[in-house]
Chains A and B, each alone.
Chain A
């Protein structure tokens, strides 16, 4: 079946540090890949997406590149802020299907 594996958290960083959250996947078909962010007490917001190999999704300083050869979609940001503290979910969706498969989420805590 389809699955998404994320690095376990929590990840604690100082403000302006470099962030990487690893994500790898297995898919039964051709997936689109997503990163969602969840702030405390809220639902999920789409952060960025990539729909085909070698695509780079980016938003709010976050980036992730769809690597088919390594089945990865690692999330990066060059300089994190306290306001980036949240839980980040990597997810995939197979083309032609509605269902989204989520990773377990990685909690990021940024300290001043």
Chain B
């Protein structure tokens, strides 16, 4: 089945640093990747939709200068949390899909980001 790899799985860093999270589709070409944020005991909040070779589309209320998304190839998208602060601490999950029929999204295992 389709596999999405997300790295790193856990990050702990100081306030003010930037953190990059990678999302890779290992056995298929993902024309679209999604980035979600999940707060404790809550559902997934879609942050942005990333299409290969074009700018990401951000959801309302998500700061595009804070959360930089790059989708340089059909198998890799990155999310960079710039100048991270404690309120950015969260669980970030990526997913990937192909534009074909009604294929479901396939999710990475998530990244637990903790800003001290």
Listed in ascending order, the chain A residues whose CB lies under 8 Å from chain B are 32, 34, 36, 41-46, 49, 51, 89, 93, 95, 98-100, 102-105, 107
Contact = CB atoms under 8 A, between A and B. Distances in A.
Give the size category of B's interface with A.
20 to 34
Given A89-B43, A105-B43, A100 B108 contact: no
Interface in B67-85: none
B46 A42 contact: no
Nearest to B51: A98
Which 4 A-B residue pairs are closest in the complex by CB-CB distance? A44-B107, A43-B107, A32-B102, A43-B109
A42 B38 CA distance: 11
Contacts of B34: 98-100
B107 to A, nearest CB: 4
B42 interface: yes
A108 to B, nearest CB: 14
Contact of A43 (B6, B43, B97): B6
